[in-house]
Structure 1
Amino acid sequence: MSRARSHIITSAASAACVVTKRSGVDRFRFVPEFANKNTSSSASTAHRTSWPWPEKRSATATRGLSSTAKFDALPNNVYHGVPVYANVDLSSNLPDASIIRNADADAVFVIAAASRSMGLEFAKQLIDRTKGRIACCVRDPGSSPALDEYLGTLAPGQRERVQVFKLDVTELGDIEQLEKDLSSSYGRVDALFNVAGVLGDKKTTPGPEMKLNQLDKHFLEEQMSVNCIGPMMLTKTLAPLLAARKGKSKYLRSARESIVVNLSARVASLADNQGPLAWYSYRMSKAALNQGVRTSAHELRRQGTWTVALYPGMTDTDMSKPFQTKAMVEKGMVFPVDFTVGRLLDIVDRMEEKNSGGLYDWAGQAIPF
């Protein structure tokens, strides 16, 4: 499996959907992992959240939502444990900071692992919903067929906004060179999307592991390197370019805040880990990433940078293919890539400082750590 593969979440045990019919149109309903279990747990062990979805809101309330697919959430979405952070309200209008950042032609959006899948979809949607420059980072510039094909379809004005950079998140030399290239080309970064991730397929890799005796040292090291160390080293190295504020009140750009977005997983939650799925290396690496996100949020806040970990739900990518079944696809348990990325960007656009450091699902719900 490609080590810098665009990350997508994991198993049907983590998230599922069922298809319902309403007025002859297929709708999708999110089914939480514990939907069929007893939900009478006390607040100390389970957290329930009702979530309003776009088709239930007014046109004004849905302004800015970009997802093309329509999903209905069950009234009670249950996670074990109590989240530390407040939910991100997707029914709210965009805050001024997001409107300004998205309209700023000088804003720079960096995507780590943009060659295909979710990383490429981030590039596509950022081209459409922002006016800024897009830095697509790939391991082999010029040898990324899906990205190259997409760039060939862009109008000249759009193509000029995109620049491709070399980056393997496991190589410190690549990370340091990227910082130099971005500094020379732009002198700033407004949003960093850490999309690279690896899970394994159990056929050509030792994991994901289902038993403790399947743990493999080299596979565990690779999971930590791609899923945690790489994103954190990239965030560290680009932090000076992300700085949006000097002191308490001197802002360095019109949008005031910059953002670091990390793709995480529900299975990384310690509180929500009720079994039976094991996946030792993947869980451990993403849990470590969550800790890095929350810890760095305290420090980065002082320079006007927010950071967040997002759980996409099970999305139709090469990474999730080994764990998809025909029944899952037929029942709508696998999210379209454009829906997932659109919903994650909706969350990013509605973030406030109080959300920085949090772990959220694709619905904007805070997940307990």
Structure 2
Amino acid sequence: MFRCYASAARVAKVCNQNKLLRTACVSSAPPLPSSNVTQSSRSSFSTSYQPPPNNTYHGTPVYNDIDIGINKITDAAAARNNDADAVFVVTGASRSMGLEFVKQLLTRTKGRIVACILRPGSSPALDDALGQLSRDDRARVHVTPLDVTNEEQIVQLRDELQSMYGRVDGLFNVAGVLGDKTTTPGPEMNLSQLDQTWLQNQFAVNAIGPLMITSKLTPLLKARKGRNKYLRETGSKESVVVNLSARVASMSDNTGGLAWYSYRMSKAALNQGVRTSSHELRRQGTWTIALYPGMTDTDMSQPFQSKTMKEKGLVFPVSFTVGRLLDVVDAMEEEQSGGMYDWAGQCIAY
């Protein structure tokens, strides 16, 4: 069941494109989140950025699109977002999109945020953001070390979460690697450039890591320790696993263009893991989804951006992308668990 919330003060522009109702007032969170924001629904902030028209993908998706509408949110998402005891785990939280997820989850939810980074204390961007938070908001963020390719550290994360919280309500697998072709062997432009070590690294970070983290945290995603009155009354107890994928991982949509063997293959493997795990996780009330963020202005995409792309608005601000992805997560229903969706809620065929 959906609940729809609309606030005129927060709605800047609404466009109806390709039969998909979409709003330009996506969650472009301010740099300093505050828990003073009304938490009865997801928090949307006006932005002047205008997204391009919907993409056209090849292939026939097996899932329906997710209508993100205007502040549309499911009961399950409202339950998570309004629960002060909820726990949201974000990997790759040191900068770029991972850090933005931390910021916007602080604003959009009442829960605790676990920011996983490779080496705590080595992220100026995260340290600066945390240093500017209010005392109450800073107390909601726990920073912990995590190398997504290190199973021992993943187990340590699970044990730490079990000891501190006894539950996980949202897992955001954001950490990933692409390469810049200057300091790394990839992304490859042809078969002759394939490097076995680099290929294995791509799979370790982009596919194996997220699935191993999901595997170890599955018992905590199922647990519902200390659920509050709101959750007991609504009966909405679903948890979510969110994975960042890529359009280039779609086999149906692979009709030419850049080779990018290792990146495409590793993200395609992730997609299969998402689809397969969705059948198992659904039985315990956990929904999982793969999300394509589009070309976003991050360190990862910098080497592949062009002046023309920016002039045409094809490079998204990080705040726009993360806001839209959270909108998609908040609007997804059980039957859409296991699918791959873009930033506008369009389903992409695997």
TM-score category by the smaller chain? 0.7 to 0.9
Aligned to 2:21: 52
1:67 shift after superposition: 6.7
Other-structure match for 1:45: none
Give the direction of change, closer, same or farther, for the CA distance of 1:294–1:267 in structure 2 (3 Å limit). same
**For residues 77 and 314 of structure 1, what CA distance do their matches in structure 2 show?**
12
Consecutive unaligned residues in structure 2, runs of 5 or more: 1-12, 26-40, 226-230
| Alignment correspondent of 1:85 | 63
Distance 1:327 1:218 in 2: 34
| Residue from 96, 113, 123 that aligns with 2:75 | 96
Give the Cα–Cα distance (whole angstroms) in 2 for the partners of residues 299 and 185 of structure 1: 26
Q: Whole-Å Cα distance in 2 between the matches of residues 318 and 209 of structure 1?
A: 18
Aligned to 1:345: 326
Where in structure 2 are the equivalents of 1:2-41 lying within 5 Å?
none
Alignment of 1:268 onto 2:269 = no
**What's the CA shift for 1:338?**
0.1
CA RMSD across the alignment: 2.4
> Contact between 2:88 and 2:171, CA under 8 Å: does it hold in 1?
yes
- Structure number with the bigger relative contact order (C-alpha 8 A, sep ≥ 6) is 1
Say whether 1:193 aligns with 2:172: yes
> For 1:88 and 1:120, how far apart are their aligned partners in 2?
25
Amino acid at match of 2:240: I
TM-score (norm 1): 0.81
CA distance in 1, matches of 2:60, 2:186: 30
Deviation track 1:138-190 (CA, whole Å, cap 9, x = no partner) reads 11112211111110000011111110011000111110100011111110000
Q: What stretches of structure 1 of length at least 5 have no aligned partner?
A: 1-26, 30-47, 57-61, 247-251
SS in 1 for 2:202: helix
Change (3 A) 1:204 1:305: same
1:132 aligns with 2:111: yes
- Assess if the C-alpha contact under 8 Å between 1:49 and 1:77 holds in 2: no
Structure 1 counterpart of 2:129, from 150, 161, 170: 150
Deviations 1:263-321 (A, max 9, x none): 00000000000012110000000000000000000000011000000000000000001
Distance 1:63 1:303 in 2: 25
Alignment size in residue pairs? 315
Counterpart of 1:71 in 2: which secondary structure? coil
Partner residue, 1:202: 181
Q: How far apart, in 1, do the equivalents of 2:131 and 2:43 lie?
A: 27
Q: Is 1:261–1:309's contact at 8 Å kept on the other side of the alignment?
A: yes
TM-score (ref. length: structure 2):
0.85
Identity fraction in percent = 65
Matched, 1:304 2:265: no
Instruction: Specify whether residues 55 and 179 from structure 1 end up closer, same or farther in structure 2 by C-alpha distance, changes over 3 A only.
Output: closer
What SS does the aligned partner of 1:68 have? Answer: coil
Tell me which amino acid in the other structure corresponds to 2:200.
Answer: E
